[in-house]
Amino acid sequence: MTMKQSFNKNSTIKQILNHPIGNDIIDRLLLKLNVNKILVDNILVQQLTLTHLKLLSFHYINDDFINTICDLLNQSAGETIIPTNVESRAWWKEAIFYQIYPRSFFDTDGDGLGDLSGIIKKLPYLQQLGVTAIWLSPIYDSPMDDMGYDIRDYKKIFSPFGTMEQFDQLLDEVHRLGMRLIMDLIVNHTSDEHDWFTRALHGEVPYTDFYISKPGDGGKIPPNNWTSFFSGSGWNYDEKQDKWYLHLFSKKQMDLNWESEALRQQIYEMVNWWLAKGIDGFRLDVINYISKQAGLPNGNEVIAKLVGYCGIEHYFYGRYLHNYLRELRLKTFEVYNAVTVGEIPGCGVNMSELLVHESRKELDMIFSFDHLESPGKSRLDDYAFDLIALKDILIKWQGMEKGAWNTLFFENHDNQRMISKVLGNGNHPLRFALGKMLAVIQLTLKGTPFIFQGEEIGMINCDFPSIDEFRDIESLNLYASLIQGGASKEDALKEVLAGSRDHARTPFQWDSTANGGFSTGTPWLMANPDYNICNVANQQNDPSSLLNFYKKLIALRKENDALIYGEFNPTNGHRYNLFCYYRILESKKYYIEINLTQKNVLKPLNLGMGQRKLLISNYDGDSFMLRPYEASIFLCQ
Ligand code: ISL
């Protein structure tokens, strides 16, 4: 795919498809519109120009939309990877990561909040599971407006979680057990209580340049129409300075101005301070947002309607993103040989390759989210997740170039529990069959698995009884804006329940004692009553439990390089409701066969497959049909 030419309103769909970023943009648009990509495979459609699209859409696609797309394509000119046919080996490609959301993991002092001592106590549990690396969500000092993603002091531990000495003890113990630990790096924004912002508000140089701001002209109208991900305008007005400050997230999370060299140096100093303590790397929070478009132009209303947020096209893949990431890696990660996984909402396969391919020297892995929503849906929509559409998206991402490495995850602290997305809330009879099926996918595809706390025991969404039980600012702001917009309390609660991030944040379910054994105090967020049914204690000694199924899968993956580095070859493609694929490395060949439906379906014939030995399945005994969500791993002989 070429990057050289310059794009304009006379560029054709074909030319745009031939541009990696253009290909991604069209892919995103089709996903959002739930339109099959076959549309743009049509040679007549490919001859259409952007001007034709404007006319055909009766100017719904307007000049502003066209200019935005062309700017995105033209600014990426010259960005390429150097292809390789060798997949280099690395510890983080062989790792089994486990994400800990410390607030909800284990509370040892009864204050209702998880803490570092609790994590230390539970390390043996993680080791027995087979985990080899931990991603620790934020533990830094914070007003906790966004549960720690609003940092007030990068070099201080949030005191209810513990002390820096306890962190050092945790890190030592993780390493003593042969595991590794990466931290959350949040450098797109800081808390408005961070010292840098306080100094900026006092007009102190160079801090006045550390944040994204615009002159206020009395504060009547914000500088542009960008919206926050947490409802409302993306701008705060500071009367004293007569200045606007950008906040893409909460009103207390102020966006940093990465164009400031002085800011970047302070960030590098902080990152190296943590790396010098011996941590093994970072997960980089919304790292693709750090380069904003010059002049901060208005967002396109059509794109805003499509994606739900206004202005995102001007920062999700900004013009200096690659420059910043290359400099950041050179000044920090590379010095310590640290691993990085970037959270990059909205980026497609080609953008991701440009961010993680080893020839680019930027990031090592990424978290993209295409696969977490069904086509045409967003995280806040109330719908039954489509596993068949999931298959096609996973196959697309398995096609990343050699030398570009992906992650494999279904859950994190921002997204609902996957079992509930498919089966709805509640203890569905197929809950654990589905949980095991998802585990087979996660642990047999190519990429590094990231298990989110509770996923390994099949935790599910929580039926929060009222808005008073929610803690997530995104949910609380959404509820307030719905009520303000005239929605009834019932409808507003229903909408918040559909996609709230709090579903993922309920206390970890250790046993069936009060609060699931998470805390002897009152948990900061209600425990899901489901802990009486689903918890570590009642799965630990049950050989057929989801927990022990994860242990077996993890052990199988760790012992077999073909499941890590092997080629991914989908098969039985004609069977739309099955997900079947090979993993092949030299003479080793595994066949994975999955029924994506709740129904019994005919087994594929697999003519010519030869002998195969069943290694793991979520069902006992044989059957001439594939049972609901049946998932099996075979060694081909
Ligand atoms: O969850 C998402 C995609 O499935 C996004 O909506 C998510 O909010 C976005 O990717 C940003 O998330 C990260 O940055 C936020 C913080 O609230 C999230 O917890 C963090 O994961 C701002 O720091």
Whether residue 458 has pLDDT greater than 50: yes
The secondary structure element, H or E, covering residue 322 is helix 321-328
State the pLDDT confidence band at 263, using cuts at 50, 70 and 90: very high
- Rounded-to-5 percentages of helix, strand, coil across the chain: 40, 15, 45
The residue type of 494 is K
CA 420 to ligand 1 centroid distance, Å: 20
Q: Which of 41, 25, 630 is nearest to 387 (CA)?
A: 630
Question: Which of 60-64, 104-108, 196-200 has the lowest average pLDDT?
Answer: 60-64
Could you tell me if 116 and 161 are in contact, meaning their C-beta atoms sit under 8 angstroms apart?
A: yes
CA 286 to ligand 1 centroid distance, Å: 7
How far apart CA 515 and CA 496 sit, in angstroms, is 23
Ligand 1 atom nearest 343 alpha carbon: 10
> Exposed, middle or buried, 622 (CB in 10 Å: 0-12/13-18/19+)?
exposed
Q: What is the pLDDT of residues 25-73, one digit of tens each?
A: 999 989 988 998 888 899 999 999 999 988 888 888 889 889 989 999 9
Q: What is residue 61's predicted lDDT score, i.e. its pLDDT?
A: 86
How far apart CA 534 and CA 452 sit, in angstroms, is 16
Name the closest-CA residue to atom 1, ligand 1. Answer: 414
Q: What is the pLDDT of residues 462-489, one digit of tens each?
A: 999 999 999 999 999 999 999 999 999 9
How far apart CA 593 and CA 571 sit, in angstroms, is 9
How far apart CA 299 and CA 312 sit, in angstroms, is 7
Is position 343 annotated as part of the catalytic site? Answer: yes
What is the pLDDT averaged over residues 533-562? 98
What is the pLDDT averaged over residues 524-553? 98
How far apart CA 284 and CA 402 sit, in angstroms, is 23
State the pLDDT confidence band at 609, using cuts at 50, 70 and 90: confident
The secondary structure element, H or E, covering residue 324 is helix 321-328
Q: How far is CA 446 from CA 240, 404, 569, 585, 615, in A?
A: 54, 11, 11, 12, 19
The residue that leads in pLDDT, 247 or 30, is 247
Contacts of 465 (CB under 8 A, 6+ apart): none
Ligand 1 atom nearest 146 alpha carbon: 17
Q: What is the pLDDT of residues 273-306, one digit of tens each?
A: 999 999 999 999 999 999 999 999 999 999 999 8
Which three-class secondary structure state does DSSP give residue 494?
Answer: helix
Could you tell me if 610 and 592 are in contact, meaning their C-beta atoms sit under 8 angstroms apart?
A: no
Catalytic residue among 87, 115, 145, 343: 343
Q: What is the pLDDT of residues 497-523, one digit of tens each?
A: 999 999 999 999 999 999 999 999 999
SS (H, E, C) 137-179: CCCEECCCCCCCCCCCEEEEECHHHCCHHHHHHHHHHHHHCCC
CA 59 to ligand 1 centroid distance, Å: 33
Which three-class secondary structure state does DSSP give residue 592?
Answer: strand
CA 146 to ligand 1 centroid distance, Å: 10
Whether residue 577 has pLDDT greater than 70: yes
Average predicted confidence (pLDDT) for the chain: 96
Q: What is residue 2's predicted lDDT score, i.e. its pLDDT?
A: 47
> What share of the chain has pLDDT > 70, as a percent?
99
Q: What is residue 607's predicted lDDT score, i.e. its pLDDT?
A: 85
CA 412 to ligand 1 centroid distance, Å: 10
Q: What is residue 4's predicted lDDT score, i.e. its pLDDT?
A: 54
The residue that leads in pLDDT, 605 or 633, is 633
**Residues with Cβ within 6 A of ligand 1?**
146, 149, 186, 229, 249, 285-286, 343, 345, 369, 372, 379, 413-415
Whether residue 608 has pLDDT greater than 90: no
State the pLDDT confidence band at 563, using cuts at 50, 70 and 90: very high
Catalytic residue among 107, 285, 364, 530: 285
Whether residue 115 has pLDDT greater than 80: yes
Q: Which of 15, 34, 33, 16 is nearest to 25 (CA)?
A: 16
Name the closest-CA residue to atom 12, ligand 1. Answer: 286
Q: What is residue 322's predicted lDDT score, i.e. its pLDDT?
A: 97
Is position 382 annotated as part of the catalytic site? Answer: no
Q: What is residue 5's predicted lDDT score, i.e. its pLDDT?
A: 66
Name the closest-CA residue to atom 15, ligand 1. Answer: 149
Which three-class secondary structure state does DSSP give residue 181?
Answer: strand
Instruction: Give residue for tokens 């002209």.
Output: 217
Q: What is the pLDDT of residues 394-408, one digit of tens each?
A: 999 999 999 999 999
Could you tell me if 255 and 247 are in contact, meaning their C-beta atoms sit under 8 angstroms apart?
A: yes
> Exposed, middle or buried, 606 (CB in 10 Å: 0-12/13-18/19+)?
middle
Model pTM score: 0.97
Instruction: Give residue for tokens 């404007």.
Output: 54
Which residue from 140, 142, 149 has its CB within 8 A of the most atoms of ligand 1, so it is best to mutate?
Answer: 149
What is the pLDDT averaged over residues 230-238? 97
